[in-house]
Amino acid sequence: MSAATQEQSKSAQTKLAAGAVGIVFGDIGTSPIYAFRETFSGHHTLVPDALHVYGVLSLIFWSMMTIVTLKYVTLIMRADNKGEGGSLALLALVTRKGENKAWTRSIVLLGVFATSLFYGDSMITPAISVLSAVEGLTTVSPAMQPLVIPIAVGILIGLFSVQRFGTSGIARFFAPIMLVYFVTLAGLGLSHIPDHLPVLWEMLDPYNAIHFFLTEPTRALFALGSVVLAVTGAEALYADMGHFGRGPIRISWLAFVMPALLLNYLGQGALILSNDLQTAQAMAQNPFFFLAPEAMRLPLVLLATLATIIASQAVITGAFSVTQQAIQLGFIPRLRIEHTSEDAAGQIYIPAINWALMISVIALVLTFGSSSNLAAAYGIAVTGAMLIDTVLIAVVFLVLWKWKKRYVLPLLALFFIVDIMYFGANLLKLPEGGWVPLIIGAIVFTLLTTWAKGRKRLLKRINAEVMPLDIFCASTVKRATRVSGTAVFLTTSTHGVPHSLLHNLKHNKVLHERTFLLTVKIADEPRVPSSKRIEITDHGGGMYRIVLHYGFMDRTDIPASLRKLKKFGGPCRDIETSYFLGRQTLLASGARGPRALRETLFSWMMRNSESAMTFFRLPANRVVELGSQLKL
């Protein structure tokens, strides 16, 4: 590699690393606003003395090193699915390589539950982040307390309202703002570390964390439920790997983001310990904002609010991406997906998810009323997803990659111990609000599994009743009246004749000169190259079987794919092509109990799913729908 090429590669890496700061680290970057505070002034308060401050700082440092640096940045980011990360991408990787294994079904259910917990996290993160930043106004003037909720709700409504315009226009401003924010974090921390220099080495000493547990095990366990707030957002590093690559994310984390975060936590600890106990207890109510001189607190509140908006934006965008993956993989019914950028395929907007999130987030803000109360609800979803990620990565290491057990098992044991401790500590918060993400996760899990199972049964019923294509061609094709043009009959099966074709022939008594039986298949990999998009079989008499292959991150556009057809009659022109869709109406099977409820839920989801015409981007004036009735 030439020197010029190496220089260009380094420049590209640097730009990606800077971009990652603006998108990937928003969630974990806003944690200093509330994580340290909650351990001392949350629902289970600690006395802000040396024992507790050193213990908490040590727990934060070693949690950051174990969970974020070692587990996610060093190891889990190796397990990419063609460059993509996240629980669903990891699940697709595991199930594809472990197909037909006895453990596959259990792993799938775990992966689906991790996805369900993500939706709970995507509701709580914007609520607690924005609310905690706006609460900084009370450090400027306590008289502003009544304005906190209205301002937070106004910001959230504005944030969700602009989603339909896309983020490509404002995304370029994210990185500079977050760079300034992280530099400010580091600067505020550095300015206070000299107030109590021992925090520098006491944070690094794991004995302080151990001593805390040995001295006050119950309080230490409750403190873990707040300390985990310092590492929330770790999975975002893995989920956003497809956008930036593992190299730039690692560089950003190790060289910039992690040092800035640790310096800020050190500064908060030094600030607390440099004051008498009474003053320390007052400052522990909001140590992040007390790091700034009084004249600079309002600008800090504004900067922190911008950072939390960016963090919330990243979570919302993540919810859109995860939903798209889940739709393509068959866990969620078709929803309207709008592409907000002509250049960036990942820039999407899903109205149903956007408004559902907005209503849920505002309801959480109004119900809990403060970020401290929301902190009780935060953590279970995150730690649950982290624990499931450890299970999935254990399968990857031991079964798929076949790494040597003597190296892997000690690491996995460490991860499981840490994850179980954090998950257990957060379970203690169930009565105070921890039940919220679990209820959300249970509801979403029920929806996802109901759709996946119902869809599988429906396809089985449809496929059991289809006429074999060779019999149809031999008995019908040569005798049917042919009309000019191309007919595309969408079908879920790659075998037999779709009901829509039989209904059309029965009622209209004609067959088009060129007839395509088209099936869309979503691969368990992010993208399928255009050279492998179309698979076509000629059955004679103008009858063709087409299978269009898309990845779970690809845009499913059937007309665009058919316009690239080179053989078998050439490209499909919109004005000469008709699309025929089958629409099934479900009849009750007569089942009772839970099964009847699941059938009712599946029928409701099917009725409210996006039309195939819109989802596959079919021209509205060229579509014919033919209905049929089925009993589940």
**Claim to verify: residue 447 and residue 476 sit in the same structural domain:** no
Q: Which of 24-33, 38-47, 150-159, 212-221 has the lowest mean pLDDT?
A: 38-47
According to the per-residue pLDDT averaged within each range, which of 408-422, 430-444, 552-566 is highest?
A: 408-422
**Claim to verify: residue 315 and residue 378 sit in the same structural domain:** yes
Closest to 155 measured CA to CA, from 345, 313, 329, 377: 313
Closest to 262 measured CA to CA, from 125, 69, 42: 69
For residues 31-41, one letter each, b for 16 or more C-beta atoms within 10 angstroms of the residue's C-beta and e for the rest, the string is bbbbbbbbbbb
The number of distinct structural domains making up the chain is: 2
**Claim to verify: residue 433 and residue 470 sit in the same structural domain:** no
Q: What is the pLDDT of residue 201?
A: 92
**Claim to verify: residue 484 and residue 449 sit in the same structural domain:** no
Domain boundary among 453, 474, 496: 453
DSSP β-bridge partners for residue 490:
518
pTM across the whole model: 0.81
Q: What is the pLDDT of residues 493-513, one digit of tens each?
A: 778 888 888 888 888 888 888
Q: What is the pLDDT of residue 364?
A: 92
Domain boundary among 453, 486, 507: 453
Q: Provide the token pair at 67.
A: 């969970």
Q: What is the pLDDT of residue 249?
A: 83
**Claim to verify: residue 401 and residue 527 sit in the same structural domain:** no
pLDDT at 362 over 90: yes
Average of pLDDT values for 535-550? 87
Average of pLDDT values for 65-91? 80
Q: Is residue 8 part of a domain?
A: no
**Claim to verify: residue 512 and residue 430 sit in the same structural domain:** no
Average of pLDDT values for 4-28? 67
Domain hosting 220: range is 15-453
Domain boundary among 432, 453, 474: 453
Q: Please tell me which residue, 415 or 371, carries the higher pLDDT value.
A: 415
Give 310's pLDDT tier (boundaries 50, 70, 90): confident
Pure H helices in 30-167 = 35-41, 50-63, 87-97, 104-134, 137-140, 148-161
CATH code at 367? 1.20.1740.10
**Claim to verify: residue 307 and residue 443 sit in the same structural domain:** yes
Q: Please tell me which residue, 615 or 477, carries the higher pLDDT value.
A: 615
**Claim to verify: residue 352 and residue 421 sit in the same structural domain:** yes
**Claim to verify: residue 556 and residue 585 sit in the same structural domain:** yes
Q: Provide the token pair at 479.
A: 């005798």
CA angle 395, 64, 261 (to 5 degrees): 145
Average of pLDDT values for 433-460? 87
Give the amino acid at 568.
Answer: F
Q: What is the pLDDT of residues 143-152, one digit of tens each?
A: 888 999 999 9
Q: What is the pLDDT of residue 102?
A: 61
Q: What is the pLDDT of residue 632?
A: 61
Q: What is the pLDDT of residue 346?
A: 56
Give the chain's length.
632
> How many beta carbons lie within 10 A of that of residue 587, not counting itself?
12
Closest to 36 measured CA to CA, from 287, 257, 341: 287
Label residue 71 exposed, middle or buried (CB < 10 Å: 0-12, 13-18, 19+). buried
Q: What is the pLDDT of residue 260?
A: 95
Q: What is the pLDDT of residue 505?
A: 84
Q: Please tell me which residue, 98 or 351, carries the higher pLDDT value.
A: 351
Q: What is the pLDDT of residues 31-42, one digit of tens each?
A: 999 888 888 886
Q: Is residue 5 part of a domain?
A: no
**Claim to verify: residue 426 and residue 551 sit in the same structural domain:** no
Q: Please tell me which residue, 569 or 345, carries the higher pLDDT value.
A: 569
Give 262's pLDDT tier (boundaries 50, 70, 90): very high
Q: Name, in order, each residue with C-beta under 8 angstroms of 411's C-beta and a sequence gap of 6 or more.
A: 70, 75
Q: What is the pLDDT of residue 82?
A: 66
Q: What is the pLDDT of residue 271?
A: 92
Q: What is the pLDDT of residue 10?
A: 63
**Claim to verify: residue 472 and residue 440 sit in the same structural domain:** no
Q: Is residue 582 part of a domain?
A: yes
Q: Is residue 6 part of a domain?
A: no
Q: Is residue 176 part of a domain?
A: yes
> How many beta carbons lie within 10 A of that of residue 502, not counting itself?
18
Q: Pairing state of beta strands 510-522 and 577-587?
A: unpaired
> How many beta carbons lie within 10 A of that of residue 133, not counting itself?
29
Q: What is the pLDDT of residues 186-204, one digit of tens each?
A: 999 999 999 999 999 999 9
**Claim to verify: residue 190 and residue 168 sit in the same structural domain:** yes
Q: What is the pLDDT of residue 6?
A: 53
pLDDT at 166 over 70: no
Give the amino acid at 268.
Answer: Q
E strand spans, 310-447 = 338-339, 348-349
Q: Is residue 9 part of a domain?
A: no
Q: What is the pLDDT of residues 84-118, one digit of tens each?
A: 667 777 777 777 666 656 667 778 888 888 888 88
Reduced 3-state DSSP string for 345-374: CCCEECHHHHHHHHHHHHHHHHHHCCHHHH
Place of tokens 């914007």: 126
Q: Is residue 3 part of a domain?
A: no
Q: Is residue 68 part of a domain?
A: yes
